Amino acid sequence: MRLDQQRYFHCKHCSHKLRFGRRECGACYQHTPVYNRFIFWLVLVLLLTVSPLASLVVAAV
């Protein structure tokens, strides 16, 4: 199953089930929340993986 066919979140304006990764609601064309974007989770995961590594590097030096 493709990621952009998953529906995790509801539109806060019309409660339409949002397709993941879409910038606009498919029903009312309002902007979707930032957590419906793929880039948000990508940045979040990067921060969560990089920050412990960075503290290890700082501790080693």
Closest separation in Å from C-beta 34 to Zn ion: 15
Residue 18 binding Zn ion, by CB under 5 A: no
- 11 or 19, CB closer to Zn ion? 11
- 31 or 45, CB closer to Zn ion? 31
Contacting residue, 4, 6, 8, 28, with Zn ion by CB under 5 A = 28
In three state form, how does the secondary structure of the chain look?
A: CCHHHCCCCECCCCCCECCCCCCECCCCCCECCHHHCHHHHHHHHHHHHHHHHHHHHHHHC
